[in-house]
Structure 1
Amino acid sequence: MDAATFFRALGDATRLRCLALLHAEGELCVCELTYALDLAQPKISRHLGQLRQAEVVEAHRHGAWMHYRVNPDLPDWARAVVDEWARAAVAAAPYADDRRALHGMPDRPENTCCA
């Protein structure tokens, strides 16, 4: 991973919002991110794909749903940037609002979401 690719991947508000939630929550399904950010699933998936291509996040399939997390193999310098930024951003809008929305997500009937 080179610095230009890493910082380019972080150069979008939607990708930063996704990264903040993933950093705070550990692992999330696309449906959870879609709900929390109140954005269309294709838009969320496109941005997650860009983060994945840059190796900032990794994904695995669980049934029909993709689950994402911050790449545990980030280089130390990149992990330090993400950790420090996330600590500073956690209480600021829109990141705090996104977490509140996620935690207010209603229970989903079985098979309609990743739950």
Structure 2
Amino acid sequence: MNKCLYFQSAAFSSNPEFAAWLVSELEKSGYVIEKVADEGYMCVISAAKEKNKISFFLGKSNEPTKPPTWQVWPEAKTALISRILGKNSSHVVEVAKANLHAIISSKTGVSNIEWSNI
């Protein structure tokens, strides 16, 4: 089951603003950003690290909290041939989760950081 990182912060006013900040932080952590897509209700950052492709899904929660609640989670992109050969992408996702937690925790003005099921 996928886990999502939830946190509260007034540091961002929109999904694109959160995505732009996260892109800069991911780059500092060694990720190569391939694409950022604004889907309106969320943003998707497509990235790679050490030849492993991963997407970060993020956006503001609909919960009426003050400060606002934000959410972000990683999903690994595993090539079909890798899946056929039984290669597991869980390590890639676990590394991304650890990176996300460290990045979000380092942001001033962030509170109530927790992982929960999507």
Higher helix share goes to which structure?
Answer: 1
Fold similarity call, TM over 0.5 = no
Whose Rg is larger?
A: 2
TM-score by length of 1: 0.29
